[in-house]
Amino acid sequence: MLNTDSPAGGDAGPATETARRRTFAVISHPDAGKSTLTEAMALQARVVDEAGVTHGKASRQSTVSDWNDVERERGISISSSALRFDFAGKVINLLDTPGHSDFSEDTYRVLMAVDFTVMLIDAAKGMEPQTRKLFDACRRLDLPVITVINKCDRPGKEPLELFDEIQDATGRTPVAVNWPVGLPSAFQGLTTPGEETYTWHEATQSGARVAREEVVEGASDERLEPGAWSAASENALLARELNGAFDDEDFTACEQTPVFFTAASSNLGVRAVMDFIAAHAPAPSPRTAVTGDDRALTADFSGYVFKVQSGMNPAHRDQIAIVRVNSGTFERGMDIRHAQSGRPLNSKYAHHLVGRGRETAALSWPGDIVGFVNVTGLKIGDTMHSGKRVEFPPMPRFNPERFRVIRLTDSSQQKRFAKGIAQLEEDGTVQVFRTPDGSPRGPVLGAVGDLQFEVVKERLRREFGVETAYDELLPYELSRPLKGPNVESLKQVFGTDLLYRPDGEVVGVFRDKWKFERALEKLPELFAD
C-alpha cells in the first residue's frame, strides 16, 4: 500500500501537500515507446517488481497502464490511464495518454488536467506529425515540456540534428541535461555536459528490472570504444554552448525544454528523468474559474472531471468519474456538490488509480487524480466542490471528421444498445448524433479517427452483449456547431447537411473544406464563435 497521504514528520495541509505533487502526462507519436517509458518509471518507483515489456509490441505483456482488453490485445494504448506513486519524497500523478492519433481528443482532456508534460521522441524518427500536434496543444495550454529522446541504443539521427528539429517544431530552446555516451549499437550510459565522468548503465533484459548504474571516469573507461568518450563530451559541450544551460525560470515560462536521452525498453536513463521531475518540475498552481478568478490552492475542495470511464471492471459494470483535485483537501465521505446541478454527490467510493488497480483515497490534495465510482450524472468538464460554489470552464469538444451510422443487428437488444451508446458518449469515446429524419437506420457516430468506431463496436459487444454493424462512411470531412434560429438555411449550400446532438445542439457537416468555406462565406451568422 502506498503512503502518500501526508509527508513524513509533519502535519498535512494543502500548501505543504501541493508542493509535493507532480502531475503530468506522457505524450508521443504512436510507437515511440510511451507505455514502455511509463512502466519503466513505475519500476523505478518500485510500483511494480518487474516490467511487462518483451521485444516487439505484438508479443509484449500488457503494461501496468494498459487496462482495456482491446489495448492488451493490440499492444497499444487507446485510453488514458492514471498511475500514482511515491518517488524521492514527491507524490507522482502520471497520466498515460492514448498512443494513437485517432484518440487525440482523449489526450487533450488529459492535458487539461496536468501541470507539465513529458514529450517522448523516437531517436530515429524525430519530431513526427502526431508529436507536433500534441505539442501544439501543450503550447495552447501553456504547459512546460520535458523532452525525452528515446531508443538511443538503436541507430538514429544525430543528437544535434534532433535538437534542431525540436527547436524548429516547438519554438522552445532545447537544453541538454544529459548526453549519450557510446555508439547506438554500444550505448554505455549518460554524461552531463562539462563533466569528466559519466553514469555507466548495465542494460537489463527487456527492461524487466532497474538497471545497475556506476559513475566512472570517461577518459579512462576501457569499456568504451576508441573515440566514444571524446565524441560524447565534445558534442555535449557544443550543445551547451549553442543553447545554454538549464534554467528553472525559463523552463516554467515555456521558453526552454530540458532534453534527456533514454533507452526505456532496457531501463536506461529513466532514473535521471525521474530525479529531474522530482527536483525541478512544477507543482500544481491555481486554476482559473469561469468567473475569471484563480481558485486558491488553500480554498475549499474543488475538483474537475476530465474523464468518465466505464468498463474498467466489467464484472460490476461500474463507471468512474476521473477528477483532478484543483483546490483544498478532499476527504473520503465529505459533503460535496455538483456545481452544474447543485445536487449532493456521494464521495464514499473514491479511489486513487494505479492502472487497472485501485486504492481507497482517504485524503487527496491539489494535483491528485481521484476516481469516483458510480457517481451518476457527472459529465466530462463538470465541477465538484465543497463549501461555496465554484465552477471551472467546460471541456472543449473536438469537431468530428468521420461519420458512420451504427446499426443493431438484433432488434431484441434495443434497450441494451441504447444504454451502451449513451454510456460510450458519456465516456467521451465517441460523439452521437441523429439525422433530421430521426435516424431510422440508427444513430450517427462522429469520431476523429476510424479506430474509434472499432473500439465502440468491440465495447458494445464485450460490455453490453450487443452485436452491431456499420454502414459505409458518410461523405463528410468537416463539422462545425451552428447557432441561431435559421440553421436550416445551411441546406441551401450544396455538399452540406445537418446533424443533431442528444441535447438538441445543431451541427453542420461538410463534404470538404471548400464546401465549409462556401457556407461560411454565404451564412457567417450560423457559425458559433
User: Which range has the worst mean pLDDT, 42-56, 91-105, 423-437, 504-518?
Assistant: 42-56
8 Å CB contact between 372 and 345: yes
CA–CA separation, 192 and 121 (whole Å): 20
* pLDDT digits 0-9 by tens, 226-261: 899 999 999 999 999 999 999 999 999 999 999 999
Q: What one-letter code names the amino acid at 170?
A: T
Place of cell 476521473: 322
Name the pLDDT band for 299 (thresholds 50, 70, 90). very high
pTM for this entry: 0.85
Place of cell 528539429: 165
Nearest to 14 by CA among 341, 242, 285: 285
Q: Is the pLDDT of residue 275 over 50?
A: yes
Q: Is the pLDDT of residue 53 over 60?
A: no
pLDDT value for 75: 44
Q: What one-letter code names the amino acid at 305?
A: V
**What average pLDDT does the segment 322-347 reach?**
96
CA–CA separation, 203 and 68 (whole Å): 30
8 Å CB contact between 299 and 383: no
Packing angle between helix 129-140 and helix 159-170, nearest 10 degrees?
A: 50
**What average pLDDT does the segment 490-502 reach?**
94
User: Which range has the worst mean pLDDT, 21-25, 27-31, 352-356, 493-497?
Assistant: 352-356
To 10 degrees, the CA torsion angle through 434, 438, 439, 440? 160
Nearest to 191 by CA among 227, 233, 252, 220: 233
To 10 degrees, the CA torsion angle through 232, 236, 239, 243? 170
Q: What is the CA radius of gyration of the chain?
A: 24
For the chain, domains (ranges, CATH) are: 21-280 (3.40.50.300), 297-385 (2.40.30.10), 402-526 (3.30.70.3280)
Strand-pair category, 468-470 with 478-481: unpaired
CA–CA separation, 508 and 477 (whole Å): 11
User: Grid coordinates representing 152?
Assistant: 538511443
Name the pLDDT band for 159 (thresholds 50, 70, 90). very high
Tell me the HSE value of 208 on the side-chain side, using a 13 A CA sphere. Answer: 6
Q: Which residues pair with 412 in a beta bridge?
A: none
210 or 371, higher pLDDT = 371
Q: Is the pLDDT of residue 102 over 80?
A: no
Nearest to 75 by CA among 44, 112, 47, 100: 100
CA–CA separation, 211 and 205 (whole Å): 9
Find the angle CA(71)-CA(77)-CA(78) to the nearest 5 degrees: 85
E strands, 212-271, where? 213-217, 256-261
Q: Which long-range contacts (CB under 8 A, 24 or more apart) does 417-425 make?
A: 417/460, 417/464, 417/466, 417/468, 419/464, 420/459, 420/460, 420/463, 420/464, 420/466, 421/460, 422/502, 423/310, 423/319, 423/464, 424/310, 424/456, 424/459, 424/460, 425/502
